[in-house]
Amino acid sequence: MVEIYGVSGQRAKDQIDILYKISQAIVHQNNVSTLLEDVLAILDTEMGMSRGILTLRKPETDILIIEASKGLTEEEKKRGQYCLGEGIIGRVAQTKKSEFVQDVSIDPDFLNKTRARKDEEPMAFLCVPVIHQREVIGTISIDRKTTDTETLASDLNFLKLVADLLAGAVANIREQVEEHESLLKENKLLRQQLGELYQPNNIVGKCSVMQQVYMQIAQVADSPATVLIRGESGTGKELVAHAIHYSSDRKNNPFIEVNCAALPENLIESELFGHEKGSFTGALQQRKGRFELANGGTIFLDEIGDISPSVQVRLLRVLQEKRFERVGGTESISVNIRVIAATSQNLEKQIENGKFREDLFYRLNVFPIHLPRLRERRSDIILLADYFLQKFNQTYGKNIKRISTSAINMMMSYHWPGNVRELENCIERAVLTSTDDVMHGYVLPLSLQSSEETNTATIPEDGANLETMVNSYEKELIVDALKKFRGNVAAVARHLQTTQRILHYRIKKLGVQITNYK
């Protein structure tokens, strides 16, 4: 005779059949949430269950929440939260001991927090802990029509078997929930850090032209207006685009960047608008484009002047109607996006040459922002250099405390064709090659050393010669020593292990003004 926990005969066979069905669901169902729903459905069918609840203990808390249910609405599920020791569910989770109530309507410990039980016939309530690696990770409870205590005790023992069988699966879903919450927290933190990083007050520059740029960012940020950022390569157009997005009410939504110059002409339509499966060779599945991914947020089209005329036509429609079709598709997709474009090219000249559509230009040029060249904001050069110095000190574990006068003169004399990006690269190289706590002129690129010595913005094709480099290095050593000894030539001569006569000769030749350091 088959027997389970003292249950024999047909009832035991029925329970074995239920356990078999549950084990089959565990084997064949990969999605843990769906598995739990399936198990509750089996209990509903086989045990005459009125309602079923699986609660999960939130990691590192004393709170149990309803993860899966049968017979509850979504609103009722949300109401079902229990602290350890609270009501029957909380007590079972706290004590690790199973309990049943013969009639919930007359039991004061039954809280009915979900408010799912109203005027109905007498119902029994059975609750068992789900234990994994000696830790209570949740509970399983069911409502069923009330009956004698012996039958309820038998059902409770059977529910324990179900809980033991499901413990591994429940542990998996708990880990998934924990990982999901961790990712949400990390995502929120990263968005907050990005928002702080790309605030306008974190863009370095205090000159009047940059103050005008900050004012424009503030004016346009909260509007849906299309922005066209113009300026030479390396002036910081991408930073301004980020600042507009993270200063707007779209900051918690996607910011999608597209470098139009980096995309092959035959792929740019697919990248921007997506494609349907089989729309061209290699399109093995449907793919969303950048406009679709940016829905609700901002799309940044960098180097917009490089897109082909055919793409310009489709882009014009998106700007006008905020809708498009995927490549090879017929379904019209509507999007709510903010468009920011940038270019280093002369679009007016491209319009004259027939390479850029005039109507698209006017659609893009709703709110233009012009970024100045670095040589037009020389008062910001040292400010930027100090910022990059601290940045790369941290990146490379260096402790360079200051930039020498010679290096400053070189940077101020140079014409910076690569703008802020070139300055950043120069400082990074100088930080890497510096051997003490001062950034000297001789660690800067040869093009800067040449421009400082000649006091011009012209770079010789063959770079700086040996005499130029030696004079630059010597001048820097003398100037640093004069600063250190406050213009005392005798002390400087002793420090540099030379005579005052030789030192005076070199000072005169190099054009150093001693009075500037006294």
Look at residue 482 and give its three-state secondary structure: helix
Integer angstrom CA distances of residue 17 from 47, 53, 286, 438: 11, 21, 44, 80
Q: CA of 61: how far to CAs of 128, 138, 183, 314, in Å? A: 20, 12, 18, 53
Q: How long a stretch of residues is the chain?
A: 518
Q: How many CB atoms lie within 10 A of CB 409?
A: 20
On the CB side of 454, CA atoms within 13 Å amount to 18
Q: In one letter, which amino acid is 264? A: P
The whole-number average pLDDT for the span 81-97 is: 89
Q: Report percent pLDDT > 70 for the chain.
A: 85
Least confident of 4-18, 76-90, 326-340: 4-18
- Residue 301 vs residue 138, higher pLDDT: 301
Per DSSP, 372 falls in state P
pLDDT of residue 197: 53
The pLDDT of residue 338: 93
Between CA 322 and CA 332 the distance in angstroms is 10
Which stretch, 78-82, 201-205, 227-231, has highest mean pLDDT?
227-231
Question: Is the per-residue pLDDT at 402 higher than 60?
Answer: yes
Give the percent of the chain with pLDDT over 90.
26
Asked whether the beta carbons of 80 and 113 are under 8 A apart, the reply is yes
The overall average pLDDT reported for the chain is: 82
Dihedrals phi, psi of 348, to nearest 5 degrees: -60, -40
Joined tokens for residue 359: 């109507």
Across residues 124-145, what is the average pLDDT? 87
Please check whether residue 402 is in contact with residue 438, taking contact to mean a CB–CB distance below 8 angstroms.
yes
Task: Answer whether 269's CB lies under 8 Å from 278's CB.
Answer: no
Interval 475-495: pLDDT, tens? 777 877 887 788 888 888 888
What is the C-alpha to C-alpha distance for residues 213 and 216, in angstroms, rounded to an integer? 5
Distance separating alpha carbons of residues 487 and 518, to the nearest angstrom = 5
Beta strands in 350-436 (DSSP E): 367-370, 402-403
CB atoms within 10 A of CB 176: 13
DSSP string for 284-340: -S-B--HHHHTTTSEEEEETGGGS-HHHHHHHHHHHHHSEEE-BT---EEE---EEE
The pLDDT of residue 28: 65
Label residue 458 by pLDDT band (50, 70, 90). Answer: very low
* Stretch 261-270: mean pLDDT: 82
Lowest mean pLDDT among 55-59, 88-92, 114-118, 149-153: 114-118
The whole-number pLDDT of residue 297 equals 93
Q: Report d(CA 442, CA 240) in Å as an integer.
A: 33
Cβ atoms of residues 447 and 410 within 8 Å: no
CATH number belonging to the domain at 375-517, selected among 1.10.3720.10, 1.10.8.60, 3.30.460.80, 3.40.50.720? 1.10.8.60
Q: Is 204's pLDDT higher than 80?
A: yes
Asked if the model's pLDDT at residue 98 lies above 80, the reply is yes
> What is the pLDDT, as a whole number, of residue 464?
47
CA dihedral 334, 338, 342, 348 (to 10 degrees): 70
Output the pLDDT for position 1. 26
Pinpoint the residues of the chain covered by CATH 3.30.450.40. 3-180
Nearest to 101 by CA among 93, 114, 112: 112
* pLDDT exceeds 50 at position 456: no
Max Cα–Cα distance, the chain, nearest Å: 117
Question: Comparing 10-24, 203-217, 322-336, which segment has the lowest mean pLDDT?
Answer: 10-24
Band of residue 373 on the pLDDT scale cut at 50, 70, 90? very high
- On the question of pLDDT at 398 being above 50, the answer is yes
Q: Which residue has the tokens 């084997």?
A: 27
Q: Please, what is the Cα angle at 304 between 299 and 306, to 5 degrees?
A: 140
Which residues are paired to 136 by β-bridges? 131
With 70 as the cut, is the pLDDT of residue 177 above it? Answer: no
Residue reference for tokens 């001569």 = 493
Q: Is the pLDDT of residue 8 over 60?
A: no
What is the pLDDT confidence band of residue 351, given thresholds at 50, 70 and 90?
Answer: very high
Q: Looking at the predicted structure, is the pLDDT value of residue 200 above 80?
A: no
Amino acid identity of residue 269, one-letter, is E
CATH 1.10.8.60 domain position(s) in the chain:
375-517
> For domain 3-180, which architecture applies?
2-Layer Sandwich (3.30)
The CATH topology of domain 200-372 is Rossmann fold (3.40.50)
Q: How confident is the model at residue 172 (pLDDT cuts 50, 70, 90)?
A: confident
Q: Which amino acid is located at 171 in the chain? A: A
